[in-house]
Structure 1
Amino acid sequence: MKTKIQSLIFFVLCIAMSSCSSDDDGNTNLTPEGRWLVSSLLVESSFDFNGDGTTSRDLFEETPCYDGNFIEFFDDGDVIIDIDFTNVYVDINNEQAYQCQNGFGLTSTWTQDGNTITVENDDEQGDIVGTISGNTITVTILNGFEMELYDEVNDQHVGVTEDFTIIFTKFDE
C-alpha cells in the first residue's frame, strides 16, 4: 500500500478555513490576521510511525513533517501558505514508513464576511470558503488523502482515498 498527500490543490484546500464553531460562542469579530501553525493533521487510518506502540490518526503526532508549517494572513488581504508533503508507505506485511518532502510556498488573497473566510483559488475547483473560530482553524479535505492498496486476490494495486482534517492554531509571538 502506498499513500501520498501530493496534490497542490489539497494543500490549497488546507487553507480553506473550515472551522467548527457555535453561533453562541460570542466570537463575531474574529479576524485571521497573523500566523497559524499546523497543529494536527488527521487521517482516517491509524499509523505508528514514531514507534511508541500506539497508533494514531494524527500524522502531526506520528511524523515531524508538518513542524513549522503555517498559513499567514495579512491585513491587506494577502495570504502566504507554507505546507510540506508526506509520502506514506504501507507494504503488504503492514510495514509502515514515511518520507517528509518539501512542499510549496504559495501566495494568494483572502476576504472575510463575518466568520466566513474565502481564499482565492485559481484552480478549476474555484475559491475555497471556510470559517474561523477562536484560536483554531479546522479544514477538512474530502478524499484528499490518497492511498494505493495492494489487492492480493487480484494481484493489482487499487487506489483508495480518505478524508483528512488539518487544524491550524494561532501563533502567539
Structure 2
Amino acid sequence: MKNFKYLFLMVAIISCSEDNEENGNGFSSAELVGTWDLIAVNVSTAVDLDGDGTTSTNLMDEEDCITGTIVLRDDTTYQFEQTVFNITTITNNQYVVQCSGMSQATGAWASDGLQVVFQGSTLLGTLELKNNTVVKNEGEELPGVASFVYERR
C-alpha cells in the first residue's frame, strides 16, 4: 500500500510539473538535472564554532567538515551524500559540532516545478525550489537545524 501511495504521489507531481512548465511557473525537470552542492546548513542563532570572533547562522562558515551533494539524473534517479553531524549544547549558549562520516541514499525523484520529492531517503523527503536553490526546511531551533540549502553546480 505504501508503494501505491508513493506511485500515486509521483504521478500527481509529474502531472503538476507539466502544468507548471506550460504556465511558466517553477522549474522544468530538465532544469533540475545535474549536481546540487550543499552551500548552507542554517541554524536559528548565529554561532562562532571556530573561535575566529565572527558569528554565522550558516554552520558551513564555521565548520569545515560539513559537505553534501545531490545528483539528479534525467532518468529520474538520484544519488545523495551528506556529512553526518551532531550539534551539542555546551555552556552559555555555546555549541560544538561533531562530524561522524557520511550518509548516502539513492532512489527516484519527481518534481512539480516548485518542490522535489525523493523516494528512498527519509533524510530528504520533499525539498522546496527557491531562487535557483533546493531547500530542505527543518524549522528547528538550536541545537537543531533550521534548513539545508543546495545550489546547482
Q: Secondary structure at the match of 2:60?
A: helix
The correspondence of residues 21-36 of structure 1 with structure 2, limited to 5 A, is 27-29=26-28, 31-36=31-36
Which fold has the larger relative contact order, with Cα–Cα distance below 8 Å and residues 6 or more apart in sequence? 1
- RMSD, aligned α-carbons: 2.9
Show CA shifts across 1:40-78 (max 9, x none): 1101132101222122211011101223x1011111111
1:138 aligned partner: 135
CA 48–138 in structure 1, closer or farther in 2 if over 3 Å, else same? same
- Which TM-score applies when normalising by structure 1? 0.62
Q: Secondary structure at the match of 2:52?
A: coil
Please state how far the C-alpha of 1:140 moved relative to its aligned partner. Answer: 0.6
Q: Does residue 170 of structure 1 match 2:152? A: yes
Q: Which ranges in structure 1 are unaligned for 5 or more consecutive residues?
A: 1-24, 148-161
2:7 aligned partner: none
2:12 aligned partner: none
What percentage of residue pairs aligned between the two structures are identical?
21
Q: Secondary structure at the match of 2:28?
A: coil
Q: Which ranges in structure 2 are unaligned for 5 or more consecutive residues?
A: 1-23
Q: Distance in 2 between matches of 1:134 and 1:71?
A: 17
1:4 aligned partner: none
2:10 aligned partner: none
Q: Secondary structure at the match of 2:138?
A: strand
Q: Does residue 91 of structure 1 match 2:90? A: yes
Query: Higher strand fraction: Structure 1 or Structure 2?
Result: 1
- Which TM-score applies when normalising by structure 2? 0.69
Q: Distance in 1 between matches of 2:119 and 2:99?
A: 27
Show CA shifts across 1:68-117 (max 9, x none): x1011111111111011222333235554332211211111101233332
Between 57-66 and 134-143, report the one with greater CA deviation.
Answer: 134-143
